[in-house]
Amino acid sequence: MGTPHNEAAQGAFAKTVLMPGDPLRAKFIAETFLQDAKLVNNVRGVQGYTGTYQGTPVSVMASGMGMPSIGIYSHELFHFYDVDNIIRVGSAGAISPQLKVRDVVFGQGSCTDSNYAHQFGLGGTFAPIADFTLLETAVTVARKLGIEPHVGSLLSSDVFYNKAGNTLDWGKMGVLAVEMESAALYCNAAEAGKRALAICTISDSLITGEELPAADRQTTFTQMMEIALGVAVEMAKK
Answer whether residue 193 is part of any domain. yes
Q: Is 204 a catalytic residue?
A: yes
Q: Is residue 55 part of a domain?
A: yes
Q: Is the pLDDT of residue 1 over 70?
A: no
Task: Check the annotation: does 102 bind a ligand.
Answer: no
CATH code where residue 129 lies: 3.40.50.1580
**pLDDT at position 157:** 96
pTM score, whole prediction = 0.94
Q: Encode pLDDT of 146-184 as tens digits.
A: 999 999 999 999 998 988 889 999 999 999 999 999 999
- Which residue type occupies 105? V
6 within some domain:
no
Whether 27 is covered by a domain: the verdict is yes
CA distance 134 to 195: 7
Locate all alpha helices (DSSP H) within 62-105, ordered by sequence.
67-80
Span 8-57, pLDDT tens digits = 788 889 999 999 999 999 999 999 999 999 998 887 878 999 999 999 99
| Catalytic member of 36, 169, 204, 216 | 204
Is residue 140 scored above 70 in pLDDT? Answer: yes
The 10s digit of each residue's pLDDT in 89-128 is 999 999 999 999 999 999 999 999 999 999 999 999 999 9
Residue 3: inside a domain: no
CA 61, CA 47: separation in Å to the nearest integer? 6
226 located within any domain: yes
62: helix, strand or coil: coil
How far are the Cα atoms of 52, 94, 176, 179 from residue 150, in angstroms, in the given order? 28, 11, 8, 15
Q: Is 25 annotated as a binding residue?
A: yes
Is 179 one of the annotated binding-site residues? yes
Gap between the Cα atoms of 24 and 167, Å rounded:
28
Instruction: Give DSSP secondary structure letters for 176-231.
Output: -EEESSHHHHHHHHHHHT-EEEEEEEEEEETTT--B--HHHHHHS-HHHHHHHHHH
Q: Note the pLDDT of residue 143.
A: 97
Rounded CA gap, 197 and 86, in Å? Answer: 7
| pLDDT, tens digit (0-9, with 9 covering 90-100), for 188-201 | 999 999 999 999 99
**Residue at 8 is within a domain:** no
Residue 78 sits at the vertex; the CA angle it makes with 188 and 27, to the nearest 5 degrees, is 100
Amino acid at 181: E
Number of domains in the chain: 1
Is 21 annotated for ligand binding? Answer: yes
- What would the DSSP string read from start to end of 124-186? S----B--HHHHHHHHHHHHHTT---EEEEEEE-S-SS-TT--HHHHHTTT--EEESSHHHHH
Contact at 8 Å (CB) between 196 and 189? yes
Closest CA to 99 of 20, 178, 156, 157: 178
Average pLDDT, the chain: 94
pLDDT at 219 over 70: no
pLDDT at 230: 98
76 in a structural domain = yes
**What domain range includes position 142?**
16-237
Q: For the chain, what percent of residues have pLDDT higher than 70?
A: 98
105 neighbors 152 (Cβ within 8 angstroms) = yes
Question: In this predicted structure, which of 58-67, 170-179, 188-197, 211-220 has the lowest mean pLDDT?
Answer: 211-220
What pLDDT score does 218 carry? Answer: 65
How far the first Cα of the chain sits from its last, in Å, is 29
